Chain A
Amino acid sequence: MKTFLKILLASSLAISASAKEIKLLNVSYDPTRELYTEYNAAFAKYWKAKTGDDVTISQSHGGSGKQAQSVIAGLEADVVTLALSYDIDAISQQAKLLPADWQKRLPNNSTPYTSTIVFFVRKGNPRGIKDWDDLVKPGLKVVVPNPKTSGGARWAYLAAYAYALETYGHDDAKAKDFITKLYKNVPILDSGARGSTITFAQRGIGDVLLAWENEAHLALKEFGDDKFEIVTPSLSILAEPPVTVVDKNAKRHGTTEAATAYLNYLYSDEGQEIAAKNFYRPRNEAIAAKYAASFTQLKLVTVDREFGGWTKAQAAHFADGGTFDQIYQPQ
Chain B
Amino acid sequence: MATQKIGAKKLRVLPGFKLTLGFTLFYLGLIVLIPLSAVFIKTSTLTWAQFSHTVFSPQALAAYRLSFGASFFAAIVNAVFGLIVAWVLVRYNFLGKKLVDALVDLPFALPTAVAGITLATLYAPNGWIGQLFAPLGIKIAYTRFGIFIALTFIGLPFIVRTVQPVLEDFDPELEDAAASLGANRWQIFWRVIFPTLTPALLTGFALAFARALGEYGSVVFISSNIPMKTQIVPLLIMNELDGFQYAKATALAVVMLVVSFLLLLAVNVLQWWSNRYNTNNLA
Contacts and interface: CB of A to CB of B under 8 A. Distances in A.
B59 A146 contact: no
Given A205-B142, A319-B243, A320-B54, A330 B228 contact: yes
Interface in B220-268: 220, 224-228, 238-245, 248
Contacts of A205: 124-125, 142
A98 to B, nearest CB: 16
A69 B224 contact: no
Given A205-B125, A329-B58, A189 B242 contact: no
A119 B224 CA distance: 21
Given A148-B243, A189-B227, A190-B225, 6 more contacts: A146-B239, A187-B226, A189-B225, A318-B243, A319-B243, A330-B228
Contact of A69 (B141, B220, B226, B244): B244
Most buried by B among A188, A318, A319, A320: A320
Contacts of B126: 203-204
A148 B142 contact: no
Given A148-B242, A149-B238, A205-B124, A191 B225 contact: yes
A189 B224 contact: yes
Most buried by A among B126, B238, B245: B238
Contact of A203 (B57, B59, B124, B220): B124
Given A94-B244, A149-B242, A187 B224 contact: yes
Interface string A5-29: 0000000000000000000000000
Contacts of A186: 226
Contacts of B241: 69
Contacts of B225: 146, 188-191
B142 A187 contact: yes
Contacts of B240: 320
A72 B59 contact: no
Interface in A63-80: 63, 65-66, 68-69, 72
20 contacts: A63-B242, A69-B241, A72-B244, A94-B244, A146-B225, A148-B239, A148-B243, A149-B238, A149-B239, A189-B227, A190-B225, A191-B220, A203-B125, A204-B125, A205-B125, A320-B54, A320-B240, A320-B245, A320-B248, A328-B226
A204 B244 contact: no
A328 B241 CA distance: 20
Interface residues of B, number: 27
Nearest to A66: B242
A220 interface: no
A288 interface: no
Nearest to A150: B242
A66 B239 CA distance: 9
Contacts of B245: 320
B119 to A, nearest CB: 12
Interface in A156-206: 186-191, 203-205
A90 B124 CA distance: 37
Contacts of A187: 142, 224, 226
Interface string A100-139: 0000000000000000000000000000000000000000
A328 B59 contact: yes
A252 to B, nearest CB: 23
Interface in B116-160: 120-121, 124-127, 141-142
Contacts of B220: 191
A72 B58 CA distance: 29
Given A146-B239, A328-B59, A188 B244 contact: no
A243 B23 CA distance: 49
